[in-house]
Amino acid sequence: MIKIKRIYDAPTPSAGDGKRVLVDRLWPRGLRKEGLVVDEWMKEIAPSSGLRKWFGHDPAKWEEFKKRYMKELEEKKGLVEGLRKDARLGTVMILYSAKEAEHNNAVALKDLLQ
């Protein structure tokens, strides 16, 4: 099972967060690595810096962003398959830092993984 959550939201073990994977290229602002519940930081699976800056979480660019991001992920099949495998074994919580909950790389990645 694959779920997504903003990294600023507290972990909820009772809700079954499972393996918590941060999928942003940059570490979230204002958060310290110590004490944060993250099992893995997969910055390599995040959109390239150029794509991230171009997109800027603009909903009008969402469909084109997804196409470009999927193209980038074609070169990272091992990482994608690793997450898929983890999701077959248990819950994977994909963590993101963007304020935009509907138009971010975690949403696009979840769609691809399912």
pTM for the full predicted model: 0.90
| Whole-number pLDDT of residue 75 | 95
pLDDT for the residue 15 = 62
Give 30-52 pLDDT, tens digit per residue: 888 887 889 999 999 999 999 99
Burial of 92 from C-beta contacts in 10 A (0-12 / 13-18 / 19+):
buried
Phi, psi of 97 (to 5 degrees): -110, -10
Q: Which structural domain, as residue segments, surrounds residue 69?
A: 2-113
The count of structural domains within the chain is 1
